Amino acid sequence: MKADIILPEKELINRVKSGDQDAFEVLYKSYSRKLTYRLLYLLKSEELAKDILQDVFLKVWEVRDRLDPELSFGAFLYTIASNFCKKSFRKALLDQAYHRHNAFEEAYSPIEWQLDKKDAKSILESALQKLTPRQKEVFTLHKIEGHSYSEISEQLGISPNTINQLLQQANKQLKAGLIGQSLLLAAILLS
């Protein structure tokens, strides 16, 4: 009796491969109920299970020319369904992460940011006063105003190597003086 079930299925699969929509409908009717129960068990959502069921059979129709009547059609369906479920879970996780991120941004206060930025600026100004005049000048031109080594070299008449040394000394001194200060200041200095 099992051979009777397998033979018609093989024949149906061969017909589906040729584009026979009636054969496809017979396969759909014979597998859709079992697959729906399986999807409900995995997804715990009737709506999502129905959507994925449709996606699974749509995928089968799209790849019908590659169907192998010698292989288990049920196993093929369950593999496709499993892949769609995994994709759905990944999407749900990404959506959760996105919504958490947006909730964090909604809690963010631009006024507090501006106040923190002012504090950071005053801390930086205080730390810059402790540098030598040349270190402060080179640091300000490069890190704050964004000038390149060659622009600073032309403007101050010093070599790029000297600029590099002055910046390293300034960074070292600033780091030592700013330990324990605001993380925001560190972010400003690194940007």
Q: In this predicted model, which residue has the larger pLDDT, 152 or 116?
A: 152
Q: Indicate left, alpha or beta for 70 from its phi (over 0: left) and psi (-120 to 50: alpha).
A: alpha
Tokens standing for 89?
């879970």
Q: Which of 60, 119, 65, 113 is nearest to 84 (CA)?
A: 60
Q: Taking 80 as the threshold, does the pLDDT of residue 104 lie above it? A: no
Q: Which of 60-74, 106-120, 136-150, 157-171 shows the lowest mean pLDDT across its residues?
A: 106-120
Residue whose structure tokens are 């009777």: 4
Is the pLDDT at 172 greater than 50, yes or no?
yes
Q: Full-prediction pTM beyond 0.85?
A: no
pLDDT bracket for residue 115 (50, 70, 90): low
The architecture that CATH gives domain 2-107 is Orthogonal Bundle (1.10)
CATH 1.10.10.10 domain position(s) in the chain? 110-190
DSSP string covering 54-106? HHHHHHHHHTGGG--TTS-HHHHHHHHHHHHHHHHHHHHHHHHHHHHHHHHHH
Q: Identify the pLDDT of residue 191.
A: 43
Note the pLDDT of residue 111: 56
As annotated, the residues of the chain forming the CATH 1.10.1740.10 domain(s) are 2-107
**What's the CA gap between 164 and 2, in Å, rounded?**
81
Q: What is the pLDDT of residue 128?
A: 81
pLDDT of residue 102: 62
Given this model, what pLDDT does residue 5 score? Answer: 43
Q: Confidence band (pLDDT; 50, 70, 90) for 124?
A: confident
Q: Which range has the worst mean pLDDT, 5-9, 18-22, 164-168?
A: 5-9
Range 110-190: architecture per CATH? Orthogonal Bundle (1.10)
Question: Does residue 27 register a pLDDT over 70?
Answer: yes
Q: Please name the residue ranges forming H helices in the chain.
A: 2-17, 21-43, 46-62, 73-107, 110-128, 133-139, 149-156, 160-178, 183-190
Tokens 């105003």 -> residue: 145
Is residue 1 pLDDT above 90, yes or no?
Answer: no
The predicted structure's pLDDT at residue 64: 94
pLDDT tens digits, one per residue of 29-44: 999 999 999 999 888 8
- CB within 8 Å of 57: residues ≥ 6 apart: 24, 28, 32
Asked if residue 35 lies in contact with residue 84, where contact means CB atoms within 8 angstroms, the answer is: no
Distance CA(52)–CA(85), nearest Å, equals 8
Q: Which of 14-18, 82-86, 110-114 has the lowest mean pLDDT?
A: 110-114
Q: Compute the average pLDDT of residues 146-159.
A: 90
For the segment 32-58, the average pLDDT, to the nearest whole number, is 92
Grouping H, G, I as helix, E, B as strand and the rest as coil, residue 109 is coil
